Structure 1
């Protein structure tokens, strides 16, 4: 069964995005790498919280319907409901979302993007010019990070506009086009500081889909 990351882009969209990265990198020594992740975290606390709240709700409703007000009936129903719903939420992650705050998701995506930056070697380019466009499908979130060489010359705040454009395109149902636009916008911002060099090499993959070999 394919993961969220593997189904996020069609095969055609993957090929177009890879070609887009190659084309942009013909003009810059920067290395731009879109990374697609299924999720940034599994949010176990959300399963426990959801199981707890739903277990209490079911226990209250059933005890009222049965006209049973003793503590042991309530406790048995609550424990059964908690186990059932927490397992259900773990099995169906989409059901966890009402129990996850936007702040928690944002923090997890930021941490996962930074981890992916290092795990995928974006910090090891010759001129410290790696740029990651990290997409976390479950959270519907995008994060852009650049290495020190770029951050020394380009204000990291400029990536916020690119993130907003890519996110809007994804929400509109055009993830491939949105990411290609994001790659082009990143290229525009770094090319004047890091033009292509005669001995430039393509140091990193042009697209990484987590869970697939590259």
Structure 2
């Protein structure tokens, strides 16, 4: 089964539904909502190096014991020959690779990726500092919501946790598009209450980014 990417995570019809949900939410508020899907928040090269190295070590040790009477001169060439294929194997088995990474590291990398996207996409440059980023990171299977300073003083952190749980549950149940649209509507409700639309509002951010 081919690995799912950000570009293929939503069908064209689902992408259109998400963009429509963003436009509908932003029509009621001066805030900006940016859903974003990325393949991964980080490449985790250390995991590939360590896990691939250990796998190559185990294979070389086993083969040298069976066929070379545990000779160091048999072990070393086998290890050197096996190291690169083993690291590539770990890279190409994302489910295994993810299980080898501590949960805290996965969460930290997704949060860092969200902060980077927040700056790169200009979410922090909206006129009233009322931008919201909803980041879905596929490799880590995590969702992160980041709101600008104009919103955070008015909305408790628990609200963003609820939105994360809403999207995460939808992805797990195979209803990612419906869940994301519901999360966008929820963000629109929050923004409408605190930051109603102004007469001269304009669309300052994209309605969906797949990266």
If the TM-score is normalised by the length of the shorter chain, which range does it land in? over 0.9
Aligned residues, how many?
A: 210
- Structure 1 segments (4+ residues) deviating >6 Å: none
CA contact (8 A) 1:154 1:190 kept: no
Q: Which region of structure 1 is more displaced relative to structure 2, 96-105 or 51-60?
A: 96-105
What does residue 65 of structure 2 align with? Answer: 64
Flag structure 2 segments of 5+ consecutive residues without an equivalent. none
Paired with 1:94 and 1:86, the residues of 2 have a C-alpha distance of 14
- Give the secondary-structure state (helix, strand or coil) at the position aligned to 1:196: coil
Flag structure 1 segments of 5+ consecutive residues without an equivalent. none
- Give the secondary-structure state (helix, strand or coil) at the position aligned to 1:202: coil
What does residue 103 of structure 1 align with? Answer: 104
- Give the secondary-structure state (helix, strand or coil) at the position aligned to 2:105: helix
Paired with 1:72 and 1:177, the residues of 2 have a C-alpha distance of 59
What does residue 76 of structure 2 align with? Answer: 75
Paired with 2:34 and 2:124, the residues of 1 have a C-alpha distance of 12
Paired with 1:172 and 1:73, the residues of 2 have a C-alpha distance of 50
Paired with 2:3 and 2:129, the residues of 1 have a C-alpha distance of 34
Deviation at 1:122, TM superposition (A): 0.5
CA contact (8 A) 1:28 1:195 kept: yes
What does residue 183 of structure 1 align with? Answer: 184
For 1:3-152, what aligned pairs fall within 5 Å after superposition? 4-66=5-67, 68-91=69-92, 93-152=94-153
Paired with 1:188 and 1:23, the residues of 2 have a C-alpha distance of 11
- Give the secondary-structure state (helix, strand or coil) at the position aligned to 2:145: strand
Paired with 1:51 and 1:91, the residues of 2 have a C-alpha distance of 11
CA contact (8 A) 1:49 1:99 kept: no
